[in-house]
Structure 1
Amino acid sequence: MKVILAEKPSVAKNIADALKIKEKKDGYFEGNGYLITWAFGHLLQLYDAKDYDAKMARWKMDHFPFIPTDFQYKVKSDPKNRDNADYGAQKQLKTIAFLMKRKDVVQIISACDYDREGQLIGDSIINQINPKKPVYRLLLNEWTPDEVLQGIKNRKSNQEMKPLQDAGMSRQWADWVIGINLTSVATLKFQTGKGKALNIGRVLLPTLKIIYDRDKEIKQFVPEDYFKLAATFQTRDHQTYEGTYFQNKQEKFKTKDTLDSIKLAIDNKSATILEKQVEQKKEFPPFLFNLSNLQGYITNKYKGWTSDKVLKVAQTLYEKKFITYPRTASTALDESIVGKTAKVLKVLSEDLPYKDEIVFKKLKRVFNNAKVESHSAIIPTYVKPSRLTPDQELVYNAIKNRFIMQFMPVAENEETVLVTKLDDQDVQGFFQTKGKVQLVEGWKKVEKMKTKDVILPLVHKQDPVQVVDSKISSHVTKPPKHHTEKTLLRVMETCGKHLKQDENEEDMDEILAGFSIGTPATRAETIKKLKDIGYITSQQKNLLCTELGVKLVETFPITDLFDLEFTGRLEKSLFDMEKDQVTKDSFLSFIFHFTRTSVEKIKGEADTVINKVESESKSNEVLGKCPICGGNVIEGYKGFGCSNWKSGCKFIIWKNDKFLATMRKKPTKTMVKALLSNKVAFVKGLTSKKGKKFNAYLRYEKNPDHAYFSWKMEFKK
C-alpha cells in the first residue's frame, strides 16, 4: 500500500478519480493499492511563545527579544478559541497518522501543492508523525487524470526537495520571529488601551510604504496650468483633419499669450503638408497570465473584485481541474509541454466562430524555459467546464481568452503621422497629426477589442490645405494616480524596479528573478490584511493610507522594514534557497540578529503614541437564556456569548461567523434574541453565491456529536 497525502479534500478526490478509486472512508479513499488522504491546508502551526515558556503568556518588555532555540509544531488552534486545538484538524491528523503507520504501508507520497508552502504543509505533517518510511513527492501543475497518472509514475524522492522545504520553513520561522517580537514590543511601546495589537510584519510594512509614498506624492503635488493650440485643416476635396501645434518640440505652453498671437496669424491661412510618414506595425497579444497579472486584470476591469477574491476563484478552478496551478510568477510555458498545449488548444477552439484562424505554433514568446520559474503560466486544461458560477466563468474566460490569443494572427495596423506647416514664414512651428488604421484584427477578435483611432483623409506630401478653424485649450497637470490593487501588485512583484507608471505591465524582462515583496500566493492576502488591521482603506478601486497607517510609517523606527530593497533582498534569499544557493542557517542567523537589534532599538525610543485604542463599552443587556447552562447571554467584543464563560460555558455566536459571512450577513441583537426565545430567526437580505438576495429562517442548534453549534436554514411558504 502507498499513502498519498493531498493538500485539500478536492485534490484527493481528483487523485482518486484518476486512479479509479471509488471507496471513500472517514478521512480517506482506499483502493487499487493506494490510501489517499488529505490535509485542510495547514493542519499544524508553530508553537505560540507561551507554549515554549509560560511567562510569555503576558507581554512584558523584559521578555523580548524571544527566539526559540528549536522551533516546534502543534495542531492548529481553533479560530474561535485559540487556547484549544481545532477539532477537525486534530481528527484528520489522527487519520493521517493511522494510515501512514499501517503495517501494510510501504511508501508515502506527498501531493501537496508544488511550491514552498505546499512543501512545508506536507513535510510538517510527515515529520510530526515520523512514520519511518520512504517519502516521495508528486510534482504537478494540474490535476487532470493524465497528469496525475504521469506524475505518480515520475515521482521524486522527497529528499530532493530539501531546498524547497528549507525555504518554506525559513519563511515561516522568519515571519514568526519578526512578527511575534516586533508586534509585541511595538504594541507595548507605541499603543495605549486594550484591543488589537499594532501589527508589524516583514511583508506588511513595505507594502504599506508603497501606498504611503504614492499618497504623499499626490498630496505634495502642485498643479500647473498649460495651454495647447489645435487647428483644423481642410483639403482640396473638403475633407478635414486636426493637428496640434509644436514649437521647439514642445506642444504644451505655460502662457496663453504665446498661442494667442499664433492663432491670429494662422486663421483662414493656407498651409502645406510637409511630411507624411506611414508605418505598418505589428501588435502582439499580451503575455499569458501569471497570478499577479490575472489579479490586476480582473480587479481593474470589474467592480467589487479584490486580489484575494481572484485567487480564491482561480483556486477553485484549479481544484476542479479546469486550469493549471494559479500561484505562479511565470508568463511563459515550459518547453516540455508543447504537445500537451497543442491538445488543450484543439479542445478549446472546437466551437469558436474564428477557429479557422487559430493555428498552433511553438512560439518563443509562449514557450520559453528562461521565463519559467517553478510553474508555467496559468492556462486552461483540456477539461472543459460544463457548469461554472458567474465568478468562475469570468476568471476562466479571461484565462482561456488570453491563452487562445497567443495562437491567433498578430494584429496589424498602419500608423500615419502628418506634419503641416503654415505658408506664412513668420509662424515658426508646425502642426502634427497622428492617425491609425487597423489592417488585421487578429487576436483582438477574441475579446472584440475596439480602438478609438483617428481616421485620416487620403492626403499626400506637398498637398495644399486651408486652416478652417483653430482653438486654444487650457489644461492642468495631473497628479499621479492612487494605487489600485493592479498597480500595487505590479510594484510588489518587482520591488519597483525598472517600473514606470505608464509602462506596459508585461515589460519585465530585466527584473531580477525572485526580487519581490512576498510571493504570488501571499500578495493578495497581504493587501487584505492591511485593510483588515486598518492600515489602508479602499475608495472604489483606489487604495489609500489611513491615519493609523500614516502614523506608523512616520513613527515606527525600524525603517529597514519599510524599505523595498531590504525586503526584496530577503525574498531573493528565499528564492535562491529553493535553488540550493543560500543556506537556511545563514538566512535565519541574519533574521535573528536583525530581530534582536530591532527590539533593542524600539526599547530605546522615546515614548510616543502611534495608536490610541478607545475602549468599546458594551451594554449588559440580557438578550436571552443560554441553551447550554441557562445563564444570561450578553453582547461582547467579539460575539454574543454566555455570561458564565468564566465557569466554562462555551456558548457563543461570533460576530464574524463564517456561515453568515458566506451570505454577507453578521448576527444582530434582534437575530440573537429571536434564536434564544423562539429557537428560530427570520432573516432578511441574505445573499446567494450568485449575488441574489433572499430571506430564510435560521436555527442555531447544538451538534449531538460534539460541543459545537451548527446553523440550519429553512424556507417556509
Structure 2
Amino acid sequence: MRLILAEKPSVAKNIADALNIKNKKDGYFEGNNYIITWAFGHLVQLYDAKDYDSKMARWKMDNFPFIPSNFKYKVKNDPRNRQRSDRGAEKQLKTIHFLMKRNDVDMIISACDYDREGQVIGDSIIYRARPKKQIYRLLLNEWTPDEVLQGIEKMKPNEAMRPLQDAGVSRQWADWVIGINLTSVATLKYQKGKGKALNIGRVLLPTLKIIYDRDKEIESFVPEDYFKLIATFQTKDQKEYEGTYTVDNEEKFKEKDKLINILELIQSKQATITDKSVEKKKEFPPFLFNLSNLQGYITNKFKGWTSDKVLKVAQSLYEKKFITYPRTSSIALEESLVGKTAKVLKALTDDLPFKDEIKFMKTKRVFNNAKVESHSAIVPTYVKPKRLSSDEQIVYTAIKNRFIMQFMPVAEYEETKLTTTIDDVNGVFISKGKVQLVEGWKKAENIKSRDNLLPLVQVNDAVRLIDSEVTSHVTKPPKHHTEKTLLRVMETCGKSYKEDESDEVMGSILTGFSIGTAATRAETIKKLKDVGYIFGQGKNLLCQDLGRRLVETFPVKDLFDLEFTGRLEKTLSDIQKGNVSKKEFLRLVFSFTEESVATIKNGQDVIINEVNAVRKTTEVLGACPQCGGKIIEGAKGFGCSNWKSGCKFVIWKNDKYLASMKKRATKTMVKALLKNKAAYVKGLTSKKGSKFNAYLRYEKNPDNDYFSWKMEFKKQYFNGK
C-alpha cells in the first residue's frame, strides 16, 4: 500500500480522480492499493521565541539578539487564538501519522508543490513522525490525470530533494531570525506607545526603498520647458502630411527664439522630399507568462486587481487542473514538452475562428531549457474549463491567449520615413508613417494597430509648405511605481531596468538574483500596505509617512540595499542547486543579525512611530427592527445592544446566504437595511459565476423570532412602503 501526502484537499481529490479512487474517509481517500491524504498547507510552524525561553514572552532590549541553537517546530497556532494550537491542523496531523504507521503502508510519497515551500511542508509533516519506510517525491507541474499517472512512474527518492529542502529551511530560518530580532529591537527603540510592531524584514525593506526612491525622484523633479517646430506640407495631388524640424537627430529645443527664427525663415520657400525609406519590421508576440509578468499584465489591464489576487486566482486554476504551476520565474517551456504542448494547442484551438492561422512549431522562443528555472512558464493544460468565475475567466483567458499567440504568424508592419528639406534652412523635417501588413498573433487578443498613413510620394518631389507652428511642451517627471513596474524591479533586482525594457532582456537576467521569489513578491506588496508603509492610489503605489520615516531613520542600511538582498536570494538559489551549503548561508545571516541588533542598540534615539491609544466610539447604525434598541458592530456581526435582555436580532458578517453569493455583510449594507428596509447590493455572484445586482431585505419570520433574507430586482419596499 502506498500513502500519498498532498498539500491541499483539492489536490488530493485530483490525485484520487487520476487513480480512480472513490472511497473517501475521514481525512483521506483509500482504494486501488493507495491511500491519499492531505495537509492544509503548513500544519506545523517554527517555535515562537517564548517557546524556547519563557523570558522571551516580554520584549526587553537585553533579550536580543536571540538565535536558537536548535530550531524546533510545533503544530501551527490557531489564527483566532494564538495561545493555542489549531485544532483542525492537530487532527489532520494525527490522521497522517496514523496512516504512515499502518502496517500495510510500505511507501510514503510527498506530493506537495514542487518548490521550496512545498518541500518544507511535506518534509516537516513526514519526518516529524520519524518514519522507517521508503519516502519518495512526486514532482508535477500540473494536476491533470495524465501527468499524475506519468509522475508516479517517474518518482524520485525524497533524499534526492535535499538541496531543495535545505533552501526552503534556510529561507524559513533566516526570515524568522531577521524578523524576530530586528522587528522586536526596532519597535523597542523607535516606537512610542503600544500598538502594531514596526515590521522589519529581509524582503520588505528593499521593496519599500524602491517605492521611496521613486517618490523622492518625483518630488525633486524640476520641470523644464522645451519647444518643437511642426510644419504641414501639401503634395501635388493635395494630400497633407506633418513634419517635425530636426537638427543632428534632435527635435526638442530649449530656446524658443531659435525656432521662431526658423519659422520666419521657411515661409514662402521651396520644399522638397530629399529622402524616403520604407522598412518592413517584425513584431514577435510577448513571451509566455511567468508569475511576475502575469501579475503585471493583469494589474495593469484590469481595475481593482492586486498581485496577491492574481496569484490566488491562478492557484485556484492550477488546483482545478486548468493551468500549469503558477509560481514560476520562467518565460519558456522545457524542450521535453514539445509533444505534449502540440496536443494542448490542438485541444484549445479547434473551435477558434482563426484556427487556420495557428500552426505548431518548435521554436527557441517557446522551448528553451536555458530559460527554464525549476518550472516551465505558465500555460493551459489540455483540460478545458466548462465553468469559471469571472475572475478565473480573466486570468485563464490571458494565459490561454498568450500561449496561442506563440504559434501564430509573426505580426508585420511597414514603416515609412520621409525627409523634407527647405531651401537655405539648416536642418530637415522628419515624418514617420506606419501601416500594419500582417496582424498575425494580435488576432488572439483582438489588438487593433493604429496606422499612420503618409501620402504616396517619391524622392525629389516638390511639396508646398501650407502651415507651421512652434509648440510648447514641458518635461514630465518619472511615473509612480505600479504593481507591474515594482514587480519588474524586484524580479531583476534593478539590473538593466528601464520602463520599456524588452521581454528579451528580462528573460536573460541572471537567474536567482532578485528581491524575493515569484511566489513571495505579491505577499510582500500586500504586507507593505497592511503594516502602513505604503498605500495605493489608483494603480500607483506611494510611501506613507511611516514608510518614509523608516527609510530615512532605520540604521541598518544593508536591509534597504537591492544588491545585498539580491545576493541573499541568489545564495538561496545556489543552495537549491547544491552549490552552497545551508550552514554557510545561516552563519552569514546569524552574524548579520547580531551586528544589526548592535547597530540599532547603539544608534540614535529617535521616534519613528508614535502610537496613540484612541478609545473606540461605538457607532449606532440604526434602530433594531425587533425591539427598537441600538444596532452596533461587533467582531462577528451587527447586533442589538439589548442582547443581554434577550433580543436576538443579528446580521452575521459571514452570513451563509450572502457568502453563497460571495458577499459579506458590511456597515453600509446594514445601515441601508435599517433605514430603508432594503439595501441595493452590487456585484453579487450567481451559482454560474456571473455578477448581478439586487435589492436585499432582511425580514422577520412570521412563526419565530428569526430573520430571513428576501431578494428583489425592482425598487420597492422602501421606507416601509
Normalization by structure 2: what TM-score? 0.90
SS at match of 2:506: coil
Q: Does residue 1:286 correspond to 2:286, yes or no?
A: yes
CA contact 2:694–2:711 (8 Å) conserved in 1: no
CA contact 2:206–2:559 (8 Å) conserved in 1: yes
Q: Deviations over 1:410-468 (max 9, x none)?
A: 1111111111100x21x101001111111111111111111223111111111111111
CA contact 1:664–1:686 (8 Å) conserved in 2: no
**Which residue matches 2:197?**
197
| Cα drift, residue 98 of structure 1 | 1.2
Question: Aligned ranges for residues 71-220 of structure 1 at < 5 Å?
Answer: 71-220=71-220
CA contact 1:229–1:245 (8 Å) conserved in 2: yes
AA at the equivalent of 2:236: R
**Which residue matches 1:437?**
435
**Which residue matches 2:511?**
513
Distance 1:492 1:642 in 2: 49
AA at the equivalent of 1:253: F
SS at match of 1:688: strand
Bigger CA drift: 402-411 or 634-643? 634-643
Distance 1:388 1:194 in 2: 46
AA at the equivalent of 1:546: Q
Distance 1:267 1:686 in 2: 61
**Which residue matches 2:628?**
none
Distance 2:170 2:639 in 1: 39
Q: Does residue 1:264 correspond to 2:260, yes or no?
A: no
**Which residue matches 1:390?**
390
CA contact 2:653–2:664 (8 Å) conserved in 1: no
Q: Does residue 1:593 correspond to 2:591, yes or no?
A: yes
**Which residue matches 1:61?**
61
CA contact 2:680–2:694 (8 Å) conserved in 1: yes
2:602 to 591, 601, 604: 604
Q: Deviations over 1:346-378 (max 9, x none)?
A: 111100111111110111110000000100000
Distance 2:501 2:668 in 1: 51
**Which residue matches 2:573?**
575
CA contact 2:212–2:543 (8 Å) conserved in 1: yes
Distance 1:98 1:323 in 2: 33
Distance 1:665 1:16 in 2: 33
Distance 2:552 2:519 in 1: 29
Runs of 5+ in structure 2 lacking a partner? 622-630, 642-649, 700-705, 713-721
CA contact 2:695–2:711 (8 Å) conserved in 1: no
AA at the equivalent of 1:354: F
Shift of the 420–607 alpha-carbon distance from structure 1 to 2, 3 Å rule, reads: same
Question: Aligned ranges for residues 24-63 of structure 1 at < 5 Å?
Answer: 24-63=24-63
Q: Does residue 1:455 correspond to 2:445, yes or no?
A: no
Distance 2:505 2:104 in 1: 54
**Which residue matches 1:225?**
225
Shift of the 534–641 alpha-carbon distance from structure 1 to 2, 3 Å rule, reads: farther
**Which residue matches 2:489?**
491
AA at the equivalent of 1:347: A
Bigger CA drift: 455-464 or 556-565? 455-464
| Cα drift, residue 697 of structure 1 | 7.7
**Which residue matches 2:525?**
527
Q: Deviations over 1:372-410 (max 9, x none)?
A: 010000000001111111111111111111111000011
AA at the equivalent of 1:528: K
Distance 1:254 1:245 in 2: 14
Runs of 5+ in structure 1 lacking a partner? 624-632, 644-651, 676-680, 700-710
Distance 1:634 1:604 in 2: 48
Normalization by structure 1: what TM-score? 0.90
AA at the equivalent of 2:403: F
| Cα drift, residue 670 of structure 1 | 11
AA at the equivalent of 1:609: I
AA at the equivalent of 2:298: I
Q: Deviations over 1:677-696 (max 9, x none)?
A: xxxx9987475345544566
RMSD: 2.8
**Which residue matches 2:557?**
559
SS at match of 1:91: helix
SS at match of 1:250: coil
Distance 2:709 2:93 in 1: 34
CA contact 1:490–1:505 (8 Å) conserved in 2: no
**Which residue matches 2:345?**
345
Q: Deviations over 1:175-213 (max 9, x none)?
A: 000000000000000001111100000000000000000
Identity level (%): 70
CA contact 1:616–1:637 (8 Å) conserved in 2: no
| Cα drift, residue 530 of structure 1 | 0.5
CA contact 2:651–2:665 (8 Å) conserved in 1: no
Q: Does residue 1:254 correspond to 2:254, yes or no?
A: yes
Distance 2:657 2:267 in 1: 71
Shift of the 379–658 alpha-carbon distance from structure 1 to 2, 3 Å rule, reads: farther
**Which residue matches 1:618?**
616
Bigger CA drift: 507-516 or 586-595? 507-516
CA contact 2:18–2:148 (8 Å) conserved in 1: yes
Shift of the 396–634 alpha-carbon distance from structure 1 to 2, 3 Å rule, reads: closer
Distance 2:166 2:494 in 1: 27
AA at the equivalent of 1:488: L
CA contact 1:231–1:467 (8 Å) conserved in 2: yes
Distance 1:87 1:698 in 2: 34
| Cα drift, residue 639 of structure 1 | 9.2
Distance 1:433 1:74 in 2: 70
Distance 1:463 1:319 in 2: 65
Distance 1:636 1:600 in 2: 44
1:543 to 530, 541, 544: 541
CA contact 1:618–1:636 (8 Å) conserved in 2: no
**Which residue matches 2:375?**
375
Q: Deviations over 1:540-593 (max 9, x none)?
A: 000000000000000000110000000000000000100000100000000000
Distance 1:473 1:166 in 2: 62
Distance 1:85 1:66 in 2: 23
Q: Does residue 1:315 correspond to 2:311, yes or no?
A: no
CA contact 2:6–2:36 (8 Å) conserved in 1: yes
CA contact 1:696–1:713 (8 Å) conserved in 2: no
**Which residue matches 1:13?**
13
